[in-house]
Amino acid sequence: MIQTSHRQSSTRRQMATKYLRDSYRAIRGKPPKYTTDLVTVRKAAEAIRPSLRLDNNSVTEIEWTLLSKLVAESSKHPGPIIEIGVLAGKTTQRMARYKTASQKIMAVDNFCWNPWGLTPDEQWGLVCHSLNYLVAMEHVEVVRIDKNEFFETYNGPAPSLVFLDAMHDYEETKKDIVWAKRVGAKIISGHDYGPDFPGVVKIVHEMGGPSELAGSVWRLA
- pLDDT per position as a tens digit, 167-207: 999 999 999 999 999 999 999 999 999 999 999 999 999 99
Question: Is 10 inside any structural domain?
Answer: yes
- State what percent of residues in the chain have pLDDT above 70: 80
Predicted local distance difference test score (pLDDT) of residue 144:
98
Predicted local distance difference test score (pLDDT) of residue 2:
40
Average pLDDT over residues 103-110: 98
Between CA 94 and CA 96 the distance in angstroms is 5
Predicted local distance difference test score (pLDDT) of residue 6:
54
Residues 31 and 128 in one domain: no
The chain-wide mean pLDDT, for the chain, equals 88
Question: Is 53 inside any structural domain?
Answer: no
Predicted local distance difference test score (pLDDT) of residue 10:
67
Residues 70 and 112 in one domain: yes
Question: Is 1 inside any structural domain?
Answer: no
Total structural domains within the chain: 2
Predicted local distance difference test score (pLDDT) of residue 32:
75
Residues 179 and 127 in one domain: yes
Residues 143 and 183 in one domain: yes
Residues 111 and 30 in one domain: no
CATH number for position 201: 3.40.50.150
Full domain range(s) for residue 25: 6-48
**Helix 90-98 × helix 61-74 angle, to 10°:** 50
User: For residue 211, what pLDDT band results from cuts at 50, 70 and 90?
Assistant: very high
Between CA 153 and CA 146 the distance in angstroms is 11
Between CA 99 and CA 139 the distance in angstroms is 9
User: For residue 14, what pLDDT band results from cuts at 50, 70 and 90?
Assistant: confident
Residues 123 and 82 in one domain: yes
Average pLDDT over residues 25-34: 70
Question: Is 193 inside any structural domain?
Answer: yes
User: For residue 143, what pLDDT band results from cuts at 50, 70 and 90?
Assistant: very high
Question: Is 56 inside any structural domain?
Answer: no
Residues 91 and 17 in one domain: no
Question: Is 54 inside any structural domain?
Answer: no
* Residue 87 scores a pLDDT above 90: yes
Residues 68 and 44 in one domain: no
Question: Could you give phi then psi for residue 163, rounded to 5 degrees?
Answer: -115, 120
Residues 15 and 122 in one domain: no
Residues 114 and 209 in one domain: yes
Predicted local distance difference test score (pLDDT) of residue 18:
74
Average pLDDT over residues 59-86: 97
Predicted local distance difference test score (pLDDT) of residue 117:
86
Residues 6+ apart with CB under 8 A from 122: none
Predicted local distance difference test score (pLDDT) of residue 1:
41
pTM of the model: 0.78
* Residue 96 scores a pLDDT above 90: yes
Residues 71 and 140 in one domain: yes
Q: Identify the top-confidence range among 1-10, 17-26, 206-215.
A: 206-215
Question: Is 192 inside any structural domain?
Answer: yes
User: For residue 3, what pLDDT band results from cuts at 50, 70 and 90?
Assistant: very low
Residues 81 and 13 in one domain: no
Question: Is 55 inside any structural domain?
Answer: no
